[in-house]
A and B are shown apart, each in its own frame.
Chain A
Amino acid sequence: MIDVSSPTFWPQLIAVLLEGTWETIYMTAIAMAITFVVGLPLGIILVGTEQGRFLEAPFGSRALGRVINALLGFIVNLGRSVPFIVLMIALIPLTRWLLGSFIGTGPAIVPLTLIAIPFFVRVVEIAVREVDPGLFEAAESLGASRWLLVRRVLLPQATPSILLGTATTITSIINFSAMVGVVGGGGLGNVALTYGMQRYSSIHIIGVVIILFALVQLIQWALTALARQLGAPSTRRGPKKDATADAQAHLDVDLTIPDPRRPTPPSSTS
């Protein structure tokens, strides 16, 4: 049992929380970095290959555009419809093949990344869709190449929205990272699991909650400030929908962690 009066309790608590925090940040940062690098182009391609958009005929082939669009849409929907806990277990063979092991903080990054990418692709998709079609037309009339269009028009206009969506994506990765304790991943979720749930330490739980809250708050604040700096989405056609809110609405995975002391009502009589 936990003994709060023990002289080693507080230093140990701090050490445990610090380690958990570091592991959470580590997992989240790497997962987000990969998600960003993979998800950003995929999101742009997903919108771009729609009919009538700037990538509708990549390499001059309309059919290729349609195939890419349908395929991406399918993968994104598939990824978003699988609950994280199921995905995590389903990915064990892949993780083992990739990293040699599926237990631990490092391997936990694989399912975290794979759940975050479809979510982030939607974030990018919404942000790109918000860009005024007139800007694409203007760029086209100037004889700009697609690459220049993406770099000088699409990205500058979509970046604030994408940053806000990134904050939401990071928050969900942090949420999901709390579950990787199940496959032996570390992080604050694991601290809550091992100290709070298995050893009934409310202090650990409170510590975890405070740190998670502070982390999410900090990320949201920093990215919102950055987004504002880079220019809020244009409001020429009235207030635009908030990409973050939209992405949140698309988030259909249950994040609640069951409370062991107050179990959910049994579905069948035991």
Chain B
Amino acid sequence: MISIEHVSRRFGDGPDAVVALDDVSIEVAKGQIFGVVGQSGAGKSTLLRTVNVLERPDTGRVTVDGVDVTALSGQALRNERHKIGMVFQHFNLVGNRTVAQNVEFALEATGAAKKDRRPKALDMLDLVGLAHRADDRPGQLSGGQRQRVGIARALASGPDVLLSDEATSALDPETTRSILELIRRLSRELGLTVLLITHEMEVVKRICDAAALMETGRVIEQGGLDELIRTPGSQVAAELFPVGEPHRIPGHRIVDVTYTGLSADRPVIAQLARDFGLDVSILGAALETINGHQAGRTRLAVPGDEHTARQVVDSLIAQGVTAWEVLA
């Protein structure tokens, strides 16, 4: 649905130039919720803005639903933007107009007839549970409510794609959860493809199907969440399962075990002790609900040498969990 192909963008010229995006390629499937994580300054925000061409890439191209948006300008680009909604960290609502007028503005931008705007805006507000606040000013609402208005506005023109720029970063944890749930529900109900950027792993954990990690303008890794947590050395997975930095223990090998879904029920570690007669100790463990599914990672210290470790890993894999030796 969204295809970002070899996009680069630099700001400034000469030695002071900052490379915000360095040959970035990302593929977001239809209906997917895709999260781009990374620290501030990693280029996430610039990347997101290339999708609706608020930021025009220097090289590379971006296609949305088969349309090369980077080739568009003027009215053609504005029409394309009606199919790409966007929500912002600071909501960006017009404070001197009512909640309904803020949503109506999105409809007016599409050229909708005057008489249709208000009913449609109220429908959208109903969708986010705020129809009763239609005639209030945004300043009278809480942060979470303002973001709901932001979402209603972004979706008023009936887009296929929603871009989210740190939509929950200004909100408290509980409000964050309710906004994320709303985004997930709407994405399922409306068949929306969502590309979001965030610096909070919580967001990825809660709603993302797939994720990419960015660092200094480059994508370090990307893929489906299920796939990433099974990938040895994945930084995204390491962030999702906070079992700490591995360190060497004399006479032991360190093995990480990651299990998802059904395998979480099986007594894999007890099995290990029975099969090999090993006194395996647990160095750390994290159990998380990732996108609605239970998943966990346990770090084991296995006494023995490289050979024992390989046997243990093979046995674990045979039991249907993912395992690999760290610091091998």
Interface residues of chain A, those whose CB is within 8 Å of chain B, are 60, 132, 134-135, 137-145, 148, 152-153, 156-157, 159-160, 230-231, 234, 236
Q: In the complex, what residues of A have CB within 8 A of residue B6's CB?
A: none
- Is the C-beta of B81 less than 8 angstroms from some C-beta in chain A? yes
Q: In the complex, what residues of B have CB within 8 A of residue A156's CB?
A: 94, 96-97
Is the Cβ of A148 less than 8 Å from the Cβ of B108?
Answer: yes
Main secondary structure of the interface of B (DSSP, over half): mixed
Bound CA span A25–B110, Å: 45
Q: In the complex, what residues of A have CB within 8 A of residue B154's CB?
A: 141-142
Q: A134 — nearest CB in chain B belongs to which residue?
A: B92
Is the Cβ of B78 less than 8 Å from the Cβ of A145?
Answer: yes
Bound CA span A215–B38, Å: 59
Question: Which one of A60, A137, A231, A236 contacts B88 once the chains associate, using CB atoms below 8 Å?
Answer: A137
> In angstroms, how far is the closest chain A Cβ from the Cβ of B91?
8
Q: B86 — nearest CB in chain A belongs to which residue?
A: A141
Q: A152 — nearest CB in chain B belongs to which residue?
A: B105
Is the Cβ of B86 less than 8 Å from the Cβ of A138?
Answer: yes
Bound CA span A148–B97, Å: 14
Is the Cβ of A152 less than 8 Å from the Cβ of B94?
Answer: yes
Bound CA span A142–B152, Å: 12
- Is the C-beta of B95 less than 8 angstroms from some C-beta in chain A? yes
Q: In the complex, what residues of A have CB within 8 A of residue B32's CB?
A: none
Of residues 37 through 53 on chain B, the ones whose CB sits less than 8 Å from some CB of chain A are 52
Is the Cβ of B94 less than 8 Å from the Cβ of A157?
Answer: yes
Question: Which one of A60, A134, A135, A143 contacts B79 once the chains associate, using CB atoms below 8 Å?
Answer: A143
- Is the C-beta of B139 less than 8 angstroms from some C-beta in chain A? yes
List 11 A–B pairs whose Cβ atoms lie within 8 Å, in order of A's numbering: A135-B92, A139-B109, A140-B81, A141-B54, A142-B81, A143-B77, A143-B81, A143-B157, A144-B105, A152-B105, A236-B90
Known: A138-B88, A138-B153. 11 other contacts (CB 8 A): A60-B74, A138-B92, A141-B54, A142-B109, A142-B154, A144-B109, A145-B109, A148-B109, A157-B94, A230-B96, A236-B95
- Is the C-beta of B106 less than 8 angstroms from some C-beta in chain A? yes
> In angstroms, how far is the closest chain B Cβ from the Cβ of A152?
5
Q: In the complex, what residues of A have CB within 8 A of residue B73's CB?
A: 60
Using A159-B96, A160-B96 as known contacts, say yes or no to A143 and B109 having CB atoms under 8 A apart.
yes
Of residues 114 through 143 on chain B, the ones whose CB sits less than 8 Å from some CB of chain A are 137, 139
Q: In the complex, what residues of B have CB within 8 A of residue A144's CB?
A: 78, 105, 108-109
Q: In the complex, what residues of A have CB within 8 A of residue B85's CB?
A: 141
Is the Cβ of A231 less than 8 Å from the Cβ of B79?
Answer: no
- Is the C-beta of B80 less than 8 angstroms from some C-beta in chain A? yes
- Is the C-beta of B218 less than 8 angstroms from some C-beta in chain A? no
Is the Cβ of B105 less than 8 Å from the Cβ of A141?
Answer: no
Bound CA span A141–B108, Å: 13
Is the Cβ of A234 less than 8 Å from the Cβ of B78?
Answer: no
Q: B95 — nearest CB in chain A belongs to which residue?
A: A234
Of residues 52 through 87 on chain B, the ones whose CB sits less than 8 Å from some CB of chain A are 52, 54, 73-74, 77-82, 84-86
Bound CA span A143–B159, Å: 12
Q: In the complex, what residues of A have CB within 8 A of residue B105's CB?
A: 139, 142, 144, 148, 152-153
Bound CA span A46–B154, Å: 30
Q: In the complex, what residues of A have CB within 8 A of residue B153's CB?
A: 138, 142
Using A135-B94, A142-B106, A156-B94 as known contacts, say yes or no to A234 and B139 having CB atoms under 8 A apart.
yes
Question: Which one of B90, B109, B157 contacts A134 once the chains associate, using CB atoms below 8 Å?
Answer: B90
Question: Which one of B54, B95, B101 contacts A157 once the chains associate, using CB atoms below 8 Å?
Answer: B95
Is the Cβ of B92 less than 8 Å from the Cβ of A231?
Answer: no
Q: B105 — nearest CB in chain A belongs to which residue?
A: A152
Using A134-B88, A145-B78 as known contacts, say yes or no to A231 and B109 having CB atoms under 8 A apart.
no
Q: In the complex, what residues of B have CB within 8 A of residue A134's CB?
A: 88, 90, 92
The 9 residue pairs across chains A and B that have the minimum distance between CB atoms: A143-B81, A138-B92, A143-B78, A144-B109, A231-B96, A134-B92, A141-B86, A234-B95, A156-B96
Q: In the complex, what residues of B have CB within 8 A of residue A234's CB?
A: 95-96, 139
> In angstroms, how far is the closest chain B Cβ from the Cβ of A263?
51
Bound CA span A132–B88, Å: 13
Using A139-B105, A141-B52, A234-B139 as known contacts, say yes or no to A153 and B88 having CB atoms under 8 A apart.
no
Q: In the complex, what residues of A have CB within 8 A of residue B80's CB?
A: 143
Q: B82 — nearest CB in chain A belongs to which residue?
A: A143
Q: In the complex, what residues of B have CB within 8 A of residue A138's CB?
A: 86, 88, 92-93, 153
> In angstroms, how far is the closest chain A Cβ from the Cβ of B271?
53
Q: B163 — nearest CB in chain A belongs to which residue?
A: A141
Bound CA span A75–B106, Å: 37
Q: In the complex, what residues of A have CB within 8 A of residue B78's CB?
A: 143-145
> In angstroms, how far is the closest chain B Cβ from the Cβ of A1?
57
